[in-house]
């Protein structure tokens, strides 16, 4: 399978990594360096104290330049509405979006494919944040295994669709795609 051509396309970036690897911080930094108006599309829902604390920490890390759009499920609709040449969207994160769909009994496989298929047509740059959950042991229960499998498939779809892919480990980014310097300035 050959990689799709990215020439002439609006940049799209997929940032992968484990929990607390520095993915969100890196995505935020790229967005703030772009000279475009940054928009965070948050997929998390504060369903418990620990998640509400995580959300608050992410909010505290952003300054007044940022617009916030909260959407746990209708990500494609938000992308089609919010993506513009003068903005840079940060989707944080695909992992929670997938989890929300699986818990809500959505047709997540079809929605993941639709999302990946839409990336090339977006009229503005987008940074997608996603966890790499398949690097550890095989989960002990069926739901966790199904989630790890679905997350792996989503990451593969998005890596194929995005013009650039970066892996973050311990706060250190490694460029996976393309094999050339990253430039999100347009």
Three-state SS annotation for the chain: CCCCCCCCCCCEEEEEECCCCCHHHHHHHHHHHCCCEEEEEECCCCCCHHHHHHHHHHHHCCCCCCEEEECCCCHHHHHHHHCCCCEEEEEECHHHHHHHHHHCCCCHHHHHHHHHHHHHHCCCCEEEEEECCCCCCCCCCHHHHHHHHHHHHHHHHHHHHCCEEEEEECCEEEEEECCCCCCCCC
User: How high is the mean pLDDT of the chain?
Assistant: 89
Answer whether residue 186 shows pLDDT above 60: no
The string of pLDDT tens digits covering residues 122-139 is 999 999 999 998 887 888
Q: 18-47, pLDDT tens digit by residue? A: 988 899 999 999 999 998 999 999 998 878
How much is the pLDDT for 185?
Answer: 65
- pLDDT at residue 112 tops 50: yes
**40-99: pLDDT as tens digits:** 999 988 788 887 888 788 787 888 899 999 999 999 999 999 999 999 999 999 999 999
pLDDT of residue 182: 58
pLDDT at 10 (0 to 100):
87
pLDDT interval class at 3 (50, 70, 90)? very low
Active site residues: 58
Q: In the CATH scheme, what is the homologous superfamily, with its name and number, of domain 12-177?
A: P-loop containing nucleotide triphosphate hydrolases (3.40.50.300)
């Amino acid at each position: 399978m050959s990689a799709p051509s990215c020439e002439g396309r609006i940049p799209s970036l997929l940032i992968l990594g484990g929990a607390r690897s520095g993915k969100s911080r890196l995505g935020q930094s790229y967005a703030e360096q772009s000279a475009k108006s940054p928009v965070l599309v948050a997929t998390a829902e504060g369903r418990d104290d620990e998640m509400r604390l995580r959300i608050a920490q992410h909010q505290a890390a952003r300054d007044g330049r940022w617009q916030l759009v909260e959407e746990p499920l209708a990500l494609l609709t938000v992308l089609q509405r919010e993506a513009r040449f003068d903005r840079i969207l940060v989707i944080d994160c695909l992992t929670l979006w997938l989890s929300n769909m699986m818990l809500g009994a959505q047709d997540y496989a079809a929605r993941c494919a639709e999302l990946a298929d839409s990336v090339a047509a977006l009229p503005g740059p987008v940074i997608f944040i996603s966890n790499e959950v398949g690097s550890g042991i095989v989960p002990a229960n069926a739901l966790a295994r199904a989630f790890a499998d679905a997350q792996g498939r989503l990451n593969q779809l998005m890596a194929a669709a995005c013009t650039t892919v970066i892996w973050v480990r311990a706060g250190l980014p490694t460029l996976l795609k393309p094999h050339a310097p990253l430039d999100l300035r347009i």
